[in-house]
Structure 1
Amino acid sequence: MTPAEFSRAVICSVRGAVEDGELSVTVPERVVVRVPGGDSRGADGGVDFACGVAMQMAKEAGRSPLEVAGMLRKRLAGVPGVARVEIAGAGFLNVTLTGGARAGLVRSVLVQGPAYGNAGGRGRVEFRAAVEGAGVRAAVTAEALEKILPAGGVATKPGGETVRPREVVEAWPLLVARLGADEARWVLLRTAQGDAVRLPDRPVQRESNARFRVQYAYARTCAMTRNARELGFAAEPADMRDVGGTEAQGQALRELFAAIAEYPATVEAAARHRAPDRVARHLEVTADAWLRCHDVCPPLPVGEEKPSAVHRGRLALAEAAGTVLANGLHLLGISTPDRL
């Protein structure tokens, strides 16, 4: 279950409460579901998703947020894949998934592959620079948005839209000659459109460079798959409690699972806000989470170990992370080398 899928479950629960006369509110078209950070997440049964919809609807419903949350809690507790729903603070709904639901999300990512995080929007998506002959940043941003909006299920306004980022003075051929196409695109897209871009003098092929780190992380996921094949085993999604027993392992697994789960919502938000930088930043988060997870939860056997269900489960997470990295880089127009 992804945050987007749980969001739909919340909307269905609100609609059910309205139809049954429990609530008198306008059923929302969309509900924000976030993945909590820090120690609140947990493969050991912590919070996977949090939602504040009860507080948003309370005034219209003429009830307290806690009352609304209580009504929704009863309905959401029966949703397949939900282990428990708790009310926190003024009316937040904190949701814990079953181990099977977490494994199911990873399996879904592997099955969908390039389609994961792509809403399959159709129709013409057109962006243009603010003025004729505008700079390279507007052109690169428009090109990325023409991929991001359909993926996020968002349409442009009739007649197309105009992008107006703060420009750079350098021409595209000169940028590519100095930085390479991948680095040039990353630098132009990673910065929010309203902020000035700081162009590096040259590309840096090491992990201090975020673009290189993202591509490197993707290449490492590919290497894990190749090496596992040589050892005679393949990925098989598993309950995270079965693939990481220590506190450090649990934290690393939680962070990686959250990054994988949040990707579709990130693409949708990037589309709504016309903000390719949101995709780039999420790729950094995913890459860092995967590299940390690799260090404490190696997907390959170490020393005299034999391949086991633990390794198959960790490999599945690695491949799911690789799917997110590849899909996001594609939206930005950046290559995905499987070896670096």
Structure 2
Amino acid sequence: MAGLLAVAVAVSPTHTAAAGSPGPATPPTGTPYLPAPTGPHPVGITSLHLTDESRQDPWVPRAGPRELMVSLWYPAKSRGERRVQYMTPKESELLLKGHQITSVPYDSFSKPRTNAYTDVQPVGGRHPLVLLSPGFTWYRTSLSALAEELASRGYVVASIDHTYENFATTFPDGRVITCATCNGEIEDFDKLVVDSRARDVSFVLDELLGRRGTLIDPSRIAMAGMSIGGASVGETMLTDPRVLAGANLDGTMFKPLAESGLSRPFMFFTQNADDATLNRDWRRLTGWKRWLKVTGAVHASFADHDTLSQQMGLDFGSKLAGTRSVEITRAYVAAFFDRHLRNRPQPLLERPSRHYPEVGFCTPEQKPCH
């Protein structure tokens, strides 16, 4: 690939499926799909295999240096011939078995139709970067709908598989690493995983800026995370000043923010429920901040799995029908990054919207939300 994507970095073959090729029908609507992104650019994707030689793996030290897989979405000049596969059949199997879901075929999560193409040229220039950290046991692909949307709007997006913290991480040599932290036996795991993820993110950022610097604007970097990935956003910002803004997508703050506070822009984007840890840390956010609650959402609504599960005929209690969870998350998270990385006014973040009546503006002192 020409341009920056040709630099010497360990790039794994990305799993692909023929553009538009259908998989086996799944109830109730046929082949599951991610909604098309709304930005002006086609979306490209590649995978990176990165090794942090300065750090032993925190969960399995005998494994040696910390290894990570990263998906990198970017605005492309044109569409390609092959779309990326959502995940492999083996990854799908381990995910469904891990969550003890037996009512759909084990390869079901390898079937969704994505909107990102492999082997396509990036749009020239330097772009703002958003780093993504998924929920515990979930894969980096679980935030694909958000990543595709941001890339279509001109962002570079890097989503990280935190090895040994999910049901499967697949490396280019064929190794499939399973979850070493899922047995609940690690003391103070909630705090340790937040620290570890912050280090993972900073390492990935070092690699991206060092090897792909002509694609990324180092003055415009932000982060979003879902669930425990969201809990790690604040810690990352406290330890890495390069990350200028952060969005926590329905993540309990397992490790408190420092009492001295965090002065950079921050957003809680959550279910319509109370969380004492967010109440506590809301007061420690001393800069621009918002707390938006989504009525009808469940935990999975802040990743792809709400809309995909509904398409597969699975019911986890969400009241956001069809692709609504994706539409809401894309709109508000993109507005947040446009506001703070591009300095573009965003009325959506200033007042309730008739287009998104599910979303309320909240503070711990203000109940109910408006």
TM range (shorter): under 0.3
> Which structure's CA Rg is the greater one?
1
TM-score, normalisation: structure 2: 0.22
TM superposition score normalised by structure 1: 0.23
Specify which structure has the bigger relative contact order, considering alpha-carbon pairs within 8 angstroms and separated by 6 or more residues: 1
More helix by share: 1
Q: Which has the higher strand share?
A: 2
